Amino acid sequence: MSLAAPVMSSSVESLPTHESDAVRRDRMRRRNGSLAVFAVLAALAVVFLREVPSWMDSGIQRWAQDRYKWSITNRQTSPVFRWLFNPLTDFLTWSVEHTETLLLDLRWPGVVALIAAIGWRTGGVQAALAGAGAMVGVGVIADFDPAMRTLAIMTVSVVIALVIGIPLGVLSARSDRLERVLRVVLDTAQVLPIFVYFSPVQLFFGLKFAPAVVVTVVYALPPAVRLTNLGLRQVPVVANEVGHSFGATSLQQLFKVQLPLAKNTILLGLNQVIMMAFAIVVLASLLGTGDLGQSVLAGLQKQHVGQAFAAGMGIVLMAVALDRVSTGRPERPLSRQNRLPAVPRNWITPISVAAVALVVVLANAFDWRRFPSSLTYDISSPIDSAVDWVQRNLRKDVPIIGGTQAISDFLVIRVLNPMKEFLLWLPWLVIVVGIAFIGWLSRGWRLAATIAVCLLLIATMGTIPGGGGQIQMWDHAMDTLSQVLVAIALSVLIAFPLGVWAGRSDAVHRVLRPFLDIAQVLPQFVYLIPVVFLFSIGRAAGVVACVVYAVPPCIRLTALGMREVPTSPREAAISFGATGGQEMRRVQLPLARKAILLGINQTLLMVLATVIIAALVGAGALGLVSYEATSKPNLKFGQGVAGGLSIVLLAIMLDRLTQAWGTRPNREEKQSR
Amino acid sequence: MISVRDLWKVYGPRAQRIVGAAEADLPRGDLQARFGNVVAMRDISLDVAPGEVFVVMGLSGSGKSTLIRCITRLIEPTSGTVLVDGADVTAAGKDELLQIRRHKVSMVFQHFGLLPHRTLLDNVAFGLELRGVGKAERRERAGGVLELVGLPSMGDYKPHQLSGGQQQRVGLARALATNPDIMLFDEPFSALDPLIRREMQDEIVRLRREVSKTMMFITHDLSEALRLGDRIAIMRDGRFVQVGTPAEVVMEPADEYVANFVRDVPRSHVVPVDSVMGPASEGPFAGEVESGSKVREAVGLVAHSDLPVRVVSGGRTVGTLDRVGVLSVIATEES
């Protein structure tokens, strides 16, 4: 007994509760100290600096403007341009122009036949019919010729993305370090709003096709790299061992074992590359490509909803066509594979080639150049009259919801304006210190420092003319931030309950899923059209577009987080007599917390990207600053660069902060360290 | 044919310093906590004679899969040498290693490892293809081997259309197609159900008679080891605890671990008649058994007759075995 006593007491001392008391005391002491530091900083900030002082202007705008001027005068003489960017620009322009010519020379029946043939090869008769049908639809609703230009830009971008992306994927499958680096770089590049890239590509590639292709490739590259990498890494260990054990060289291993086994995943990547390229190519048309995308954007900006809708439908139909023919056939079940296809598989290619050739020859012989006007359907007038009707009848005095104008007014006057004015009213350093403080609470000093640096850098972006004087870039950033905050709050408010519900009820999940699936494929601009239709243009329309765009993924990710919670703890809770609500609040939600917060992090970045793009429908702020510059680079290039950088900084700050919430270790995990 | 000397495999940082050092004998957890190393295989030496079937038996984690992979350097050993048919595998350059893998040694895998995108014929021809054999020739040879393993005219099927047993027949055919002198088997039948496993073991016995190969066979199934092995090595914690014929392992286990393993094996299944027979004598006899066959073969004969059986070798009587001799073997099982 005498021996047992000290053993007992020492084991009691090592129990976690006792130790954690000491840890907690320590933490409290440190927390109090840091609180004091932040309080002092905040007080100083209030007293001394209400506005961003003019000495903080780093002069980046002037610097960038000078670089642009230099690039204009030296474009023909500087070696960087003569030997690198000019040949590249020429090559890209040449590729797009020739692809366009080729597509036009095929004539529209030839293009439809080509799509059908590809569909037949990859997905059978069904895919062929769906692809051809959607392609004819493009001609019926929108203009076929500008659509071919869109298709040409997209084709060139996809080919380049694959030519670069697949080898990069192969390399990153072989090196963990390269994989990590590439993932960070590509993911960052992909979440940034597209306008950020406009100024840099304009500097190096000028306007029209070349910069449009470059920007599109930036977004289309990640899926090519990611899925090639994934496919190769998923090759079973034993398959790799088989190759090596029979004496395969490294190249034999790649081409005879790994790539064939990764084929399906890489094809999935191809499909994603195409869809991503489509989403971007429309926005890239702001660089002056004169394709279908430009009709959409022009229509949106001039509030010709019908025009925007027709062109938008054309692009969506083209996307559907290419999606159908590039999805391919998944692994077919055994029974179907055994059945003989109607046409032997190795006949498909020769037959299709012959058929396409015949159609092209016929189309050229009879000169079916234009899509027959008897087949076209002008969808823009009915849409325009519908818009008129909406404007007349739904703007005001609608029972309960009050009408679109009322909603829009409420959003602007009661929510967006107070939010923006509050952020502008706060002394700017208080915002810096305040958000850094939130960062410190979430993750500690490093996050606080990152946030502070991002915000301080935004303050160095200088001023731009506007509102009869000079406006601080900081103020534009706060305008954007207020829109982001309102949009994310609304999105979460709508999506979180639905997501939780879908996470707990299979029936709800089944009902919502098709909508979520469709929403995932549609590009951002598609959401702008109906929003302008209902809400006209302005900041409210922008916020609504963000919400509409962000709610589906937010629902999906919340539901996913809820569904991934293992069943055993939930069953345990129920077996102890928990009600459904208790089980949800005490078991499922806490266990799903991290996944849901990470979902919100992703949603937030989508919201930011959309807020920026919503500048196209009058949301103003940083988005406007950054894309406006493309049309008047001689005057505004510097502003565009500064605006783009501000967006990047804002994105990094918001991303780091919310990511910290999603990955913050639980208290138990902290203690076990 | 295979000669392994002082082979070690240590995972973790600066693995070389653990080899042969006192630290290698630390308990697994301690070694990993203090140095970050794990010893998968320690100080293995073995020789496999031409035409011999050498079975390595051990539970999962004993290091047997590491050992067989070190033979062709699918896993790089940390130290030691491996000779295959006189060639030093461990010192071989890239090209020499490829030649050894392509011509001398082939391997049959636990989960078959068939390439799903290829037909059976192209799976079997895989090794020949890597070697650069022309399409027509390699297909013809592959077709012949498929016939040998009992899958004639199925060359155009894809692997997923086959049952597990059939798939492993293809795996076997693929290993045979390159006509290697040495075949390595990495638990080839453990994923099959017992009846099919039995069938496949018979297939190996048959193949041994028809094509003379040196085989190294990994298994965790003792009865499989006893059935197939000329010699068996029992492996535990990365080292051999005993190497011997099936009879030696069963009758004279080296330690308690092995003894526990073989406790339930009927002695009459592993003891050859030669080790208990008496001197040759004149008849009459109840019957005859081949020299080298197991005692169990004589049980039925002596049970129905008071006469002894004779042991023959090449038609000549080399000894006799009576009821007492047979029972003395069976009696040891009961103790």
User: Do the domain assignments include residue A565?
Assistant: yes
CA distances from A115 to A111, A228, A272, A323 (A): 6, 25, 18, 11
pLDDT of A139 strictly over 90: no
- Say if B41 is an interface residue toward chain A (CB within 8 Å): no
Of B115, B174, B178, the CB nearest to A239: B115
pLDDT of B54 strictly over 90: yes
Cα–Cα distance between A219 and A192 in angstroms, integer? 10
CB contact under 8 Å between B130 and A334, yes or no, is no
Q: What pLDDT is stored for residue A585 in this prediction?
A: 78
Q: What pLDDT is stored for residue A10 in this prediction?
A: 40
CB contact under 8 Å between A247 and B117, yes or no, is no
The pLDDT confidence band at residue A20, using thresholds 50, 70 and 90, is low
CB atoms within 10 A of CB A338: 9
Cα–Cα distance between B242 and B261 in angstroms, integer? 12
Identify the helix (H) or strand (E) that includes residue B302. helix B296-303
Q: What pLDDT is stored for residue A468 in this prediction?
A: 67
CA distances from A309 to A380, A381, A386 (A): 7, 10, 12
pTM above 0.80, yes or no: no
How buried is residue A567: exposed, middle or buried, by Cβ count under 10 Å (0-12/13-18/19+)? exposed
Residue A344 has phi, psi (to 5 degrees) of -55, 140
CB contact under 8 Å between A238 and B113, yes or no, is yes
Partner residues linked to B278 by β-bridges:
B320
State the smallest CA–CA distance between residue B17 and chain A in angstroms: 26
pLDDT of A199 strictly over 70: yes
Q: What pLDDT is stored for residue A664 in this prediction?
A: 55
The pLDDT confidence band at residue A436, using thresholds 50, 70 and 90, is confident
Q: Give A482-526 pLDDT, tens digit per residue.
A: 888 888 888 888 888 888 888 877 888 888 887 877 777 677 777
User: Do the domain assignments include residue A671?
Assistant: no
Q: What pLDDT is stored for residue B61 in this prediction?
A: 83
Pick A466 or A173 by higher pLDDT. A173
User: Do the domain assignments include residue A295?
Assistant: no
Of B101, B112, B160, the CB nearest to A245: B101
CB atoms within 10 A of CB A529: 21
DSSP string, A63-127: HHHHHHHHHHHTTTT-HHIIIIIHHHHHHHHHHHHHHHHHHHHTHHHHHHHHHHHHHHHHHHHHH
Q: What residue has token string 């709800």?
A: A508
The pLDDT confidence band at residue B55, using thresholds 50, 70 and 90, is very high
CB contact under 8 Å between B113 and A256, yes or no, is no
Q: Find the closest chain A residue to B161 by CA distance.
A: A334
Task: Give A633-639's long-range contacts (Cβ < 8 A, gap of 24+).
Answer: A633/A68, A633/A202, A634/A68, A637/A64, A637/A65, A637/A68, A637/A199, A637/A202, A637/A203, A638/A60, A638/A61, A638/A62, A638/A63, A638/A64, A638/A65, A638/A68, A639/A61, A639/A464
Q: What pLDDT is stored for residue A9 in this prediction?
A: 38
Q: What pLDDT is stored for residue A663 in this prediction?
A: 64
Average pLDDT value for chain A: 76
User: Do the domain assignments include residue A300?
Assistant: no
Q: What pLDDT is stored for residue A13 in this prediction?
A: 40
Q: Give B168-203 pLDDT, tens digit per residue.
A: 888 888 888 888 889 999 888 888 888 888 888 888
Cα–Cα distance between A537 and A555 in angstroms, integer? 27
CB contact under 8 Å between B113 and A241, yes or no, is yes
CB contact under 8 Å between B101 and A244, yes or no, is yes
In chain B, what percentage of residues exceed pLDDT 90?
Answer: 5
The domain over range B44-104+180-265 is classified in CATH as 3.30.70.520: no
Pick A534 or B139 by higher pLDDT. B139
User: What count of CB pairs under 8 Å joins A to B?
Assistant: 66
Q: What is the mean pLDDT of residues A14-31?
A: 61
CATH number at residue A637: 1.10.3720.10
The pLDDT confidence band at residue A340, using thresholds 50, 70 and 90, is very low
Q: Find the closest chain A residue to B115 by CA distance.
A: A239
Of A241, A247, A261, the CB nearest to B130: A247
pLDDT of B226 strictly over 80: yes
Q: Give A85-115 pLDDT, tens digit per residue.
A: 777 888 888 888 888 888 777 777 778 878 8
Q: What pLDDT is stored for residue A344 in this prediction?
A: 62
SS3 A566: coil
Q: What pLDDT is stored for residue A331 in this prediction?
A: 44
The amino acid present at B238, given as its one-letter code, is: G
CB atoms within 10 A of CB A155: 20
Q: Give A229-243 pLDDT, tens digit per residue.
A: 888 888 888 888 888
CB contact under 8 Å between A261 and B115, yes or no, is yes
Q: What pLDDT is stored for residue B193 in this prediction?
A: 84
Q: What pLDDT is stored for residue A272 in this prediction?
A: 82
Name the residue ranges covered by the structural domains of chain B: 44-104+180-265, 269-334
The amino acid present at A236, given as its one-letter code, is: P
The amino acid present at B181, given as its one-letter code, is: D
CATH number for the region B269-334 comes to 3.90.1280.20
Q: Give A182-195 pLDDT, tens digit per residue.
A: 888 887 777 777 77
B190-B191-B196 Cα angle (round to 5): 85
Say how far residue A367 (Cα) sits from the centre of its chain. Answer: 42
Q: Give A547-602 pLDDT, tens digit per residue.
A: 888 888 888 888 888 888 777 777 777 777 777 777 777 778 888 888 788 788 87
* Chain A residues with CB-CB distance to B119 below 8 A: none
CB contact under 8 Å between B109 and A334, yes or no, is no
State the smallest CA–CA distance between residue A180 and chain B in angstroms: 22
Q: Which of A461-470, B20-29, B54-63 has the highest mean pLDDT?
A: B54-63
In chain A, what percentage of residues exceed pLDDT 90?
Answer: 0
Q: What pLDDT is stored for residue B216 in this prediction?
A: 92
Average pLDDT value for chain B: 85
The pLDDT confidence band at residue A672, using thresholds 50, 70 and 90, is very low
User: Do the domain assignments include residue A162?
Assistant: no
Q: Tell me the residue range of the domain where A557 lies.
A: 399-429+472-664
Of B97, B112, B127, the CB nearest to A246: B127
- Say if B98 is an interface residue toward chain A (CB within 8 Å): yes
- The count of structural domains within chain A is 1
Q: What is the ipTM of this complex?
A: 0.77
Of A260, A334, A338, the CB nearest to B117: A260
Nearest to B232 by CA among B58, B68, B106, B105: B58
